[in-house]
C-alpha cells in the first residue's frame, strides 16, 4: 500500500478508543437484588404441597413453642405470685364457669402437651434409624394425633 493511500485509510478509519472511568456497581445484598428484579422468593414456599410429614414437623415446633410459653409462665408465676396454687384454683372456681367451659379450656391447654409428647416419639424412633418407611411415617403421624386426642380428652375429663 502506498504511503498516501495508507494515510488516507488511517485518517478515515481511525479506531477511536474511548475510555470511561470505572464506576463501581452499587453494593446490594442478595435479597434486595431479588426484590428489585421481582424474582420469586427462593425456596419458593408455594411450590411445596402441604404434606403430612411437613405439617407434623411444623406442629411439633408450634406445640414446642406453646410448651415453652407454659414453662415460662409457671417459672415467672412461681417467682412473682406469692400465694400457693390452691389460691388460684379457688379463684378460678369462684368464677363459677360451667362444666363445659372448663372442659374446653382444659382441652385447649392440654392438647399441645399430649401432641408434643406423642409426636416426639416418632422423632426419637427415627433418630435410631427405625420406622422411616414413608408408609409408616404417614401411619404414625395419624396414630400420634389420635393418641394425643385420646389422652387430652381423658385428662380433661378428670
Residues that bind ligand HEM (CB under 6 A): 60-61, 64-65, 67-68, 71, 116-117, 120, 123-124
Shortest separation between residue 151's beta carbon and ligand HEM, angstroms: 13
Q: Which is nearer to ligand HEM, 85 or 97 (CB)?
A: 85
CB of 64 to ligand HEM, least distance (A): 2
Nearest to residue 66, comparing CAs of 29, 23, 109, 34?
109
The CA-CA-CA angle for residues 158, 85, 153, to 5°, reads: 20
Please tell me whether residue 49 adopts helix, strand or coil conformation: coil
Nearer to ligand HEM, 34 or 151 (CB): 151
Residue facing ligand HEM at closest CB distance: 64
Question: Cβ 122 to ligand HEM, closest distance in Å?
Answer: 8
Give SS3 for 102: helix
Q: Which residue has the cell 391447654?
A: 109
Name the residue nearer to ligand HEM (CB basis): 64 or 138.
64
Cα-based distances in Å from 36 to 41, 131, 143 = 12, 45, 46
Considering the complex, state which of residue 34 and residue 60 has its C-beta at the smaller distance from ligand HEM. Answer: 60
126: exposed, middle or buried (C-beta count within 10 Å: 0-12, 13-18, 19+)?
middle
Q: Is 30 annotated as a binding residue?
A: no
Give the shortest CB-26-to-ligand HEM separation in angstroms.
Answer: 37
Residue 101 beta carbon to ligand HEM: minimum distance, rounded to whole angstroms: 25
Considering beta carbons, is residue 34 or 117 the nearer one to ligand HEM?
117
Angle between the N-to-C axes of helices 52-80 and 134-157, in degrees from 0 to 180, rounded to the nearest 10: 30
- Where is the binding site, in residues? 116
- Where is the binding site for heme, in residues? 116
Amino acid at each position: 500500500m502506498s504511503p498516501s493511500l495508507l494515510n488516507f485509510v488511517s485518517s478515515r478509519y481511525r479506531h477511536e478508543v474511548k475510555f470511561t472511568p470505572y464506576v463501581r456497581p452499587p453494593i446490594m445484598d442478595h435479597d434486595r437484588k431479588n426484590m428489585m428484579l421481582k424474582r420469586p422468593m427462593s425456596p419458593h414456599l408455594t411450590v411445596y404441597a402441604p404434606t403430612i410429614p411437613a405439617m407434623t414437623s411444623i406442629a411439633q415446633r408450634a406445640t414446642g413453642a406453646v410448651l415453652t410459653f407454659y414453662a415460662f409462665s409457671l417459672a415467672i408465676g412461681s417467682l412473682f405470685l406469692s400465694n400457693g396454687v390452691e389460691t388460684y384454683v379457688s379463684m378460678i372456681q369462684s368464677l363459677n364457669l360451667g362444666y363445659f367451659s372448663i372442659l374446653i379450656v382444659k382441652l385447649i391447654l392440654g392438647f399441645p402437651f399430649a401432641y408434643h409428647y406423642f409426636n416426639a416419639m416418632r422423632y426419637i424412633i427415627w433418630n435410631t434409624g427405625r420406622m422411616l418407611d414413608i408408609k409408616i411415617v404417614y401411619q404414625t403421624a395419624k396414630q400420634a394425633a389420635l393418641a394425643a386426642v385420646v389422652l387430652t380428652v381423658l385428662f380433661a375429663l378428670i
